[in-house]
């Protein structure tokens, strides 16, 4: 290798090292956060903290949550070298139950990591189980009561239920069957015509803002007898 070639490769190596040492790099404390909100909480908030450990600023291009029930916000638009910050993800609980997994996609002007996906896991406590959530009668069927069973989950200290029907054509009656357990008897006044209703089930917990649960009932159209063949 002649002297000119050696100088050329040395210059290239130096340029690469300089470029690497000067690049931006955002380091996240964690990209997955798991939350365990309590009964009565209306939202769950996750904090995704970061630090720019590179030598140049990092600019956020966009921050997009995966659904309308989640919002995300960045403290900063541009993160200077050595600066720290966080992206806050807020999940609206509503009447959801069980494990909820939402994501936030972060796009950055960072050559090392242009896109980062943040995951928010929210474990919602079990409230009431309603089984079955739908009962029905065939048209012309005898309008006997049908039963919906309701059971409170662990650590859900409900003692009473209030059940209302959206349609006065259905009668309801609630009976306790054990600690944290009830049965709802529902009965249509008649089955001569199609009719339906939605039951609103309200426990007495949490006292400040009880969560509502629902079931549905209907009388279907009377079956049409088959035509006699000619």
40-67 residue pLDDT tens: 788 999 999 999 998 999 999 999 999 9
Q: Which residues pair with 148 in a beta bridge?
A: 184
Comparing CA positions, the residue from 60, 53, 57, 41 lying closest to residue 104 is: 60
What does the alpha-carbon distance between residue 217 and residue 136 come to, in Å, rounded to a whole number?
A: 5
The fold for domain 26-124 equals Immunoglobulin-like (2.60.40)
**The pLDDT value given to residue 209:** 77
DSSP secondary structure, 183-200, as one string: EEEEEES--SS-EEEEEE
Burial tier of 77 (Cβ tally within 10 Å: 0-12, 13-18, 19+): exposed
> In this predicted structure, what is the pLDDT of residue 50?
95
Question: For the chain, what are the domain ranges?
Answer: 26-124, 128-219
* Residue 216: pLDDT band with limits 50, 70, 90: very high
Domain topology for 128-219: Immunoglobulin-like (2.60.40)
- Record the pTM: 0.66
Q: Would 26-124 and 128-219 be classified into the same CATH topology?
A: yes
Q: Please state the length of the chain.
A: 230
Q: What is the three-class DSSP state of 148? A: strand
Question: Residue 48: is the preceding peptide bond cis (ω within 30°)?
Answer: no
What confidence tens digit (pLDDT) does each residue in 82-98 have?
A: 999 999 999 999 878 88
User: Is a pLDDT exceeding 80 seen at residue 29?
Assistant: yes
- List the structure tokens of 218: 């209907």
- pLDDT tens for each residue of 123-147: 998 889 999 999 999 999 999 999 9
């Amino acid at each position: 290798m002649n002297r000119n070639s050696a100088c050329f490769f040395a210059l290239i190596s130096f340029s690469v090292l300089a470029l690497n040492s000067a690049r931006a790099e955002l380091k996240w404390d964690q990209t997955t956060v798991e939350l365990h909100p309590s009964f009565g909480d209306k939202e769950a908030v996750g904090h995704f903290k970061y630090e720019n450990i590179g030598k140049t600023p990092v600019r956020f291009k966009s921050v997009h949550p995966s659904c309308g029930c989640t919002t995300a916000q960045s403290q900063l638009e541009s993160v200077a070298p050595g600066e720290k910050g966080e992206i806050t993800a807020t999940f609206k609980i509503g009447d959801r139950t069980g494990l909820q997994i939402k994501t936030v996609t972060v796009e950055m002007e960072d050559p090392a990591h242009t896109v980062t996906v943040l995951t928010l896991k929210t474990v919602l406590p079990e409230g009431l189980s309603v089984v079955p959530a739908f009962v029905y009668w065939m048209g012309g069927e005898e309008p006997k009561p049908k039963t919906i069973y309701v059971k409170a989950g662990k650590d859900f200290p409900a003692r009473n239920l209030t059940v209302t029907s959206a349609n006065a054509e259905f009668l309801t009656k609630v009976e306790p069957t054990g600690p944290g357990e009830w049965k709802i008897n529902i009965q249509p006044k008649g089955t001569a015509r199609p009719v339906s209703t939605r039951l609103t089930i309200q426990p007495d917990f949490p006292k400040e803002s009880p969560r509502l649960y629902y079931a549905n009932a209907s009388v279907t159209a009377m079956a049409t007898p088959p035509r006699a063949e000619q």
